[in-house]
């Protein structure tokens, strides 16, 4: 039995125990050891209060030497010395299993226990968590979502939903927006003149809806790529006489990647060759099942030209908004997003801001991206001056120092001095990032395992491009087959043709990897990928592509271990010594190793589960003994050994 040892420094004094884990580490539990040690009293040493080593700790299935030493309040050297006595040469970052940690604990006078099981979630909480997990979201929680999460629930009130209109070219997006604007807004304007603000509001039955007047799904995704989750609902416009087209599919994929509900507006039903049923069938093939067919996607036939169905569309937007529970705190921290900005020769910098929480007031000091300013004047979408604007309201603001970018987040601070200080800090941070020679990829196959360990993702998002349709389908199907119970492959977008800047923007916004098969990469896409850190991988052999993705997924999977028998030894003689019971054995098969797991079998029944504490050949300690040789085996904590017993030695090996 190894003697207990304590490390000493050069002067011969005992080494001070290292500090135990912090509060968060004590409360957390996980695979790499479950911090959760009991609080221990402090002891006086040299007149200074020192934290005494804990008497009991909690350790999960696996833990490193460094982390175990930290939990025990010991130097890692103490643990490594004990391991060396067992014949195990372990570096400080070596991973130990629970049993080995328990043996080390016994040697060092610390009880090692399994973590206590977590309390089961309440049914309602579990349902909500499951629904949230099932909903596709961006990898990173946005700043505004973090602000909303901190608001007291009782202070949240309903706010106007923000709607983006997407779809294929010439399917009537602009006509639809104009029809909604003129029907619900222009009649109330002085002189009927509407200025372009990038966003505007309409009122339906006393409730407001905010529409983003953006040029399409690329701008929609570009804002998401800058960390702005602005849109609550997407209206997908599909022409009844044309059906689903390539940009329609792209718009669907971009909306899904954003995790927002989709309402389909089937436009141009007034045309003689309109075929609503055919459009619904094509959309069903894209995964949008109509409500009329038992699905969950609202589809409204309408004509932007005549106004037919417009009211029904607006009513359905309000219904979806109510189901989504779109809320904000008008009295909370004021934050929002820049929709668009420009430099006006007469008025200076003008920016259209969408307030998403709190209330923006004239005179407020703002930090917007890397610039700042003070709200000198504020106007609504009709050009009327405002004194304040609540959540969900788009406003044109004057008073910023520089022109911000679309998608920049703004927040109200207490004064100009604070705004200037924050803006300067952000500017310096941005310059430092720009000065770096290379940008680390936000998502790469090599980084997937690290992201999984950090708990950031269990989904591999892919954007796939292929040269022809006949190749695209088998490539997509092969990639989807790699999904399992623990890790999922999500194809955000799949189409034919070269990789474009739009693909890179979608990848940037969704934490995806762009995969190309027999296609090229245009210069704009390559340039943006280098700037944003999006990884583009191109292949011309399908099995090589599948192999790369499969290896990445295996890195993401939680490790699976299975038992592998190393050898068996028969007990020929039993010796009682001061150090315990020693079994004189003959190794019948395989190899017996010191420190390995072992079980004692008697007449085919398991008597004890333990480990090989020491192993000797004659008078020498040895690390292993092979088949055909005799040896002395000391089993940890086991004294009830009889002649004729069988000692089976095994280890847990990771399944590849």
Q: CB neighbours of 113 closer than 8 A, spacing ≥ 6?
A: 56, 57, 58, 59
pLDDT digits (tens, 9 = 90+) for 24-38: 333 333 334 444 444
Span 603-620, mean pLDDT? 89
User: How does strand 207-212 pair with strand 162-167?
Assistant: parallel
Instruction: Please give the order of strands across the beta sheet that includes 207-212.
Output: 199-204, 207-212, 162-167, 233-239, 262-267, 298-301
In this predicted model, what pLDDT tens digit does every residue of 413-428 receive, in sequence order? 888 888 888 888 877 7
> How do residues 197-208 score in pLDDT, each as one tens digit?
578 888 888 889
Mean pLDDT in residue range 356-383: 89
Does the pLDDT value for residue 331 go beyond 60?
yes
Q: Number of C-alpha atoms within 13 angstroms, CB side, residue 523?
A: 0
What is the per-residue pLDDT for 528? 85
Q: Answer whether residue 211 shows pLDDT above 60.
A: yes
Among 67-71, 124-128, 144-148, 639-643, the range scoring the smallest mean pLDDT is: 124-128
What is the rounded distance in angstroms from the CA atom of residue 467 to the CA atom of residue 71? 55
Tokens of 222: 């570009």
CA distance 427 to 434: 11
Cβ 250 vs Cβ 166: under 8 Å:
no
**Measured on CA atoms in the order 26, 610, 637, 618, is the torsion positive or negative?**
negative
Structural domains in the chain plus CATH codes: 23-113 (no CATH), 157-327 (3.40.50.300), 335-435 (2.40.30.10), 448-556 (3.40.50.10050), 561-654 (2.40.30.10)
Q: How does residue 14 score in pLDDT terms, banded at 50, 70 and 90?
A: very low
Residue that the structure tokens 């349902």 belong to: 127
pLDDT exceeds cutoff 50 at 40? no
Average confidence (pLDDT) over 633-642 = 90
Give CA–CA dist 366/343, Å, rounded.
Answer: 18
* Residue 233 near residue 324 (C-beta atoms within 8 A): yes
Residue 251: other Cβ atoms inside 10 A: 28
Residue 24 has what pLDDT?
36
The per-residue pLDDT for 556 is 54
Q: Which of 221, 100, 105 is closest to 507 using CA atoms? A: 221
pLDDT in tens, 61-100: 778 888 888 888 888 888 888 888 777 777 787 777 777 8
Residue 539 half-sphere exposure toward CB, CA atoms < 13 A: 19
Question: What is the pLDDT, as a whole number, of residue 168?
Answer: 81
pTM summary value = 0.55
DSSP line for 454-496: TTS-SEEEEEEEESSHHHHHHHHHHHHTT--SS-EEEEEEEEE
Q: Report how far residue 636's alpha carbon sits from residue 614's, in angstroms, rounded to the nearest whole number.
A: 8
Categorize the per-residue pLDDT at 404 as very low, low, confident or very high, splitting at 50, 70 and 90.
confident
Q: How many whole angstroms separate alpha carbon 580 and alpha carbon 78?
A: 24
- pLDDT tens readout for residues 497-542: 889 888 888 888 777 889 998 888 888 888 888 877 788 888 888 8
| Sign (positive or negative) of CA dihedral 555, 558, 560, 566 | positive
Give, for 62, the enclosing helix (H) or strand (E). Answer: strand 62-64
């Amino acid at each position: 039995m190894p003697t207990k040892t304590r490390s000493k420094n050069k002067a011969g004094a005992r080494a001070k125990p290292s500090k135990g884990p912090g509060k968060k580490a004590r409360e957390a539990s996980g695979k790499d050891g479950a911090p959760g040690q009991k609080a221990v009293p402090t002891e006086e040493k040299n007149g200074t209060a020192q934290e005494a080593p804990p008497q009991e700790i909690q350790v999960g299935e696996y833990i490193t030497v460094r982390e175990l030493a930290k939990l025990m309040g010991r130097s890692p050297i103490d643990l490594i010395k004990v391991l060396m006595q067992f014949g195990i040469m372990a570096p400080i970052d070596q991973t130990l299993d629970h049993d080995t940690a328990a043996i080390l604990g016994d040697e060092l006078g610390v009880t090692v226990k399994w973590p206590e099981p977590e309390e089961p979630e309440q049914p309602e909480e579990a349902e909500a968590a499951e629904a949230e997990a099932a909903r596709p979201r961006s990898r990173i929680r946005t700043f505004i979502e973090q602000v909303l999460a901190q608001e007291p629930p009782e202070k949240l009130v309903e706010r106007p939903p923000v709607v983006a209109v997407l779809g294929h070219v010439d399917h009537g997006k602009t006509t639809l927006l104009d029809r909604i604007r003129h029907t619900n807004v222009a009649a109330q304007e002085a002189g009927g003149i509407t200025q372009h603000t990038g966003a505007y509001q309409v009122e339906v039955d006393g409730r407001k809806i905010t529409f983003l007047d953006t040029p399409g799904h690329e701008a929609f995704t570009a804002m998401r790529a800058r960390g702005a989750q602005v849109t609550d609902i997407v209206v997908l416009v599909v022409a009844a006489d044309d059906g689903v087209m390539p940009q329609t599919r792209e718009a669907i994929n971009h909306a899904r990647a954003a995790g927002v509900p989709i309402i389909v507006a089937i436009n141009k039903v007034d045309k003689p060759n309109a075929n609503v049923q055919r459009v619904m069938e094509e959309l069903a093939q894209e995964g949008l099942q109509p409500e009329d067919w038992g699905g969950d996607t609202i589809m409204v036939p309408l004509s932007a030209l005549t106004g037919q169905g417009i009211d029904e569309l607006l009513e359905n937007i309000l219904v979806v908004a109510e189901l989504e529970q779109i809320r904000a705190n008008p009295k909370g921290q004021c934050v929002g997003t820049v929709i668009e900005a420009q430099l006006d020769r007469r008025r200076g910098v003008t920016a259209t801001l969408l307030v998403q929480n709190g209330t923006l007031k004239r005179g407020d000091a703002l930090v917007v991206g890397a610039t700042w300013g003070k709200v000198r004047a504020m106007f609504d979408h009709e050009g009327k001056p405002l004194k304040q604007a609540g959540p969900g309201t788009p406003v044109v603001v004057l008073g910023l120092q520089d022109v911000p970018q679309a998608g920049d987040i703004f927040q109200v601070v207490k004064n100009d001095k604070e705004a200037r200080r924050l803006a300067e800090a952000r500017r310096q941070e941005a310059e430092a990032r720009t000065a770096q020679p290379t940008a680390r990829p936000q998502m790469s196959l090599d980084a997937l395992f690290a992201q999984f360990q950090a708990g950031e993702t269990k989904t591999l998002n892919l954007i796939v491009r292929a040269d022809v349709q006949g190749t695209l389908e088998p490539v997509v199907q092969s990639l989807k087959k790699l999904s399992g119970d623990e890790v999922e492959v999500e194809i955000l977008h799949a189409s034919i043709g070269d990789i474009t800047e739009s693909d890179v923007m979608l990848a940037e916004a969704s934490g995806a990897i762009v995969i190309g098969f027999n296609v090229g990469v245009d210069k704009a896409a390559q340039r943006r990928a280098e700037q944003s850190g999006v990884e583009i991988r191109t292949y011309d052999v399908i099995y090589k592509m599948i192999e790369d993705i499969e290896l990445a997924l295996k890195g993401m999977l939680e490790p699976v271990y299975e038992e592998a028998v190393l050898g068996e030894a028969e007990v020929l003689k039993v010796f009682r010594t001061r150090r315990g019971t020693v079994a004189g054995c003959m190794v019948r098969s395989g190899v017996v190793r010191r420190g390995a797991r072992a079980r004692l079998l008697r007449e085919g029944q398991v008597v004890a589960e333990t480990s090989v504490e020491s192993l000797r050949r004659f008078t020498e300690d040895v690390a292993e003994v092979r088949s055909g040789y005799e040896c002395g085996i000391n089993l940890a904590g086991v004294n009830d050994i009889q002649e004729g017993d069988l000692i089976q030695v095994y280890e847990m090996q990771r399944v590849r």
